[in-house]
Amino acid sequence: AERKVAFHTQPIWKRAATVAAGPLFNFLLTIAVFSVLFSVYGRPVLDPMVAQVSAGSPAEKAGILPGDRFVKVDGSKVETFADVQRMVQGRAGDAITFTMLRDGKEVTVTATPEPMEQQDALGNKVKVAVIGVLNSTELGQPRVITYNPVGAVGAAIEETGHVIQRTGQFLQRFVAGREDKCQLGGPIKIAKMSGQAAKLGFEWLVQLVAFLSVGIGILNLLPIPPLDGGHLLFYGVEAVSRRPVSERALAIAYRAGLRLVL
């Protein structure tokens, strides 16, 4: 009777759905957090304008001028200055094509972002890619976008997608040796950041929860045993071969995967 309800005797799809539920709810939690934040606080934005170009910067070398407006980044349309920052900050060393609006005409330039060490709002030193442009209140026209509950959910889903994309981009570059390992942190760093966020206010603390939830969800989906992604990988092998992976192979994979994670 117990074997009928035991996890390891269930069909592959049931086991896979159970394992995938954890990461899925990590993403759902992030969407819920962003939905509440956008509903209560709205979202502050700036128009994607160039008020100043730093001397000797990639932007100056590319020919970007004060007064230009970003229209597209690598073919993707941008509506706010934050959109430009999001598409640039994780791509140090990559040549990026920018479409600028200048005197009513579109101009296409190519710039390669350079890494720069900055201090974030939580006091952490982080390396982000920049092209060397600044915005201003005069040109950027700062404003706060407000949302109704339905609109807040839609914006939250979009923002969660951006976070997932940035995190995946970082992991790809990290594996390729193009990111600083000091950008990673464990439980001690998380505890320190949580304290710093709490001092800045409830909004910052809740945002940190959202980012951590996405990070945990993505990490758990990596195809490495004993993470959830590793289980899903074995279920995929079992579905194709129509037989479970041997216990010896599982044991070897789990030991190797645990060392890799640590």
| Least confident stretch, 136-140, 186-190, 202-206 | 186-190
What's the average model confidence in pLDDT over 43-65? Answer: 94
In angstroms, the CA 221 to CA 140 distance is 39
Three-class DSSP category at 186: coil
Bridge partners, residue 50, by sequence: none
Helix (H), strand (E), coil (C) string for 12-30: HHHHHHHHHHHHHHHHHHH
Whether the predicted pLDDT of 198 surpasses 70: yes
The residues, any chain, with a CB within 8 Å of residue 247's CB and separated by 6 or more, are none
**Confidence band, pLDDT 50/70/90 cuts, at residue 182:** low
Sequence-separated (6 or more) residues with CB below 8 Å from residue 119: 125, 126
pLDDT attached to residue 203: 83
Predicted local distance difference test score (pLDDT) of residue 186: 74
Residue 95 has pLDDT above 90, yes or no: yes
Instruction: Please give the structure tokens belonging to residue 181.
Output: 């390992």
The DSSP symbol for 77 reads E
Tokens of 57: 């910067």
Q: Indicate if the pLDDT at residue 8 is higher than 70.
A: yes
Helix axes 202-221, 12-41, angle to 10 degrees: 160
Q: How far is Cα of residue 45 from the mean position of the Cα atoms in its chain?
A: 19
Average pLDDT over residues 74-85: 93
| Nearest partner of 235 among 23, 7, 28, judged by Cα | 7
